[in-house]
Structure 1
Amino acid sequence: MTTEEKIFNAARIVFQKKGFAGARMQEIADEAGINKAMLHYCFKNKQSLFEAVFIKAFGQLAPQINLIFNSEETVFNKIKKFTDSYISFVIEHPFLPQFVIQEMNNNPEFVLKFLTNTNRPNPTHMILQIEKEIADGIIKPIQPKQLLLDIFSMTVFPFAAQMMVKGILQISDDEFNQMMEIRKMSIAEQIINSIKK
């Protein structure tokens, strides 16, 4: 394993445990088994390391989402695959949704630059497919972007507001993850039942 891979793995572990605000560069260096000077040589500060970890992780998610959007599956199957793929990924990378929200507030240029990049999730093909399945009488008349917003909202919100969800429902981390596993299918079923003609 290269030094950079050690740093990325260590940073991911520490950011997941402590969040951006609670993470310390010394702790990341210790986790990676390197000294702090080496860490600062590779990444000048915590923000640049956090952004690099985010880009690497999101760069793994975006192709998965685009594969689903651009496949020849039915819209119903794409919904099932999206909820399963997104929730599985975020359970493994729980810092991502909070990071996006934090960065949208603190560093919107970074997020906008990232979301306009050619590798971002691109739903164009799926939007056209939704329109076709509406015309074919498979799906009820619905605005395709509203449908996508429903899918994104129901899958993203529990992770983005994880502390609030756990607090209101009085559940532990393990219980939250168990609920998210169940939501992989329950979200898909709710949405499909609501749009099926």
Structure 2
Amino acid sequence: MKENKKSVETQELILKTAKDIFAQKGYAGARMQEIADAAGINKALLHYYYRSKEKLFDQVFEEAFKKLAGPLATFLADDSELFQKIRNICKHYNNVLMEYPFLPNFILNEVNTDPTRILKLINVEGVMLGKEKTLAQISKAVEDGVIREIDPRELILNIISLSIFPFAGKPIASELLYKNVDYNKILNTRADKVSDFIIQSIKK
């Protein structure tokens, strides 16, 4: 019993350590020896739990992606007023991507190489139902004159794009637009800025 508990604790420590190092250095820059050293274990024990860096990253990636996509169906299906729903989704994306900044680029890579893996990690049915509810909500807001006429799909795409690109494009944006500035501070404030921008762009 104690041994099993210790095994679980060791795996949790490895995953937490690996997440931090992958977040800092990405998949290519991370080294198994570095992860073992940071976790305070020897490399042999690390390989006992995870035979390769790829397998370790896969688990970190899956956990991170579920945090990103898991609540999406709930956000889309909830009964919040439209502008509040936009703020909720932007905040959620920002919080998860601050914790897992490597996620967007690896999602894009997976989508281009094997989209089925991503789809398996999403509650597709829940997201589709929530999407339909949100699409109807947006259409109703257009009819009621609350927002200007806009294709609901474009609005959802705008929310996702504006939330994710600053993380995916960090190397370029930080160099070209925010040189000598703490870019993480910029990212920390993105949720409110993105939601304000989107709301003002559709408000009548």
Instruction: Give the TM interval when normalised to the shorter protein.
Output: 0.7 to 0.9
SS in 2 for 1:192: helix
12, 16, 24: which one aligns with 1:5: 12
Aligned mates of 1:13, 1:85 — CA distance in 2: 19
Greater displacement, 46-55 / 181-190: 181-190
TM-score by length of 2: 0.85
TM-score by length of 1: 0.88
Q: Is 2:122 aligned against 1:115?
A: no
What is the Cα-based RMSD across aligned positions, in Å?
2.0
Q: Is 2:179 aligned against 1:171?
A: yes
Superposed CA deviations along residues 87-108 of structure 1, whole A, max 9, x for unmatched, are: 1221121121122234345xx2
1:54 deviates by: 0.9
1:190 deviates by: 1.4
Structure 1 counterpart of 2:32, which letter? M
User: Structure 1: where are the runs of 5+ without partners?
Assistant: none
Say if 1:101 and 1:160, in contact at 8 Å, map to a contact too: no
Larger Rg: 2
The structure-2 alpha-carbon separation of the partners of 1:118 and 1:74, relative to structure 1 and needing over 3 Å to count, comes to same
Q: Aligned residues: percent identity? A: 38
144, 147, 158: which one aligns with 1:136: 144
Greater displacement, 160-169 / 36-45: 36-45
Say if 2:162 and 2:194, in contact at 8 Å, map to a contact too: yes
1:116 deviates by: 4.4
The structure-2 alpha-carbon separation of the partners of 1:193 and 1:170, relative to structure 1 and needing over 3 Å to count, comes to closer
1:195 match: 202
Aligned mates of 2:92, 2:32 — CA distance in 1: 31
2:5 match: none
Q: Is 2:26 aligned against 1:19?
A: yes
Aligned mates of 1:154, 1:30 — CA distance in 2: 37
2:64 match: 57
Question: How many residues are matched?
Answer: 193
Aligned mates of 2:29, 2:109 — CA distance in 1: 14
Structure 1 stretches of 4+ moved >6 Å? none
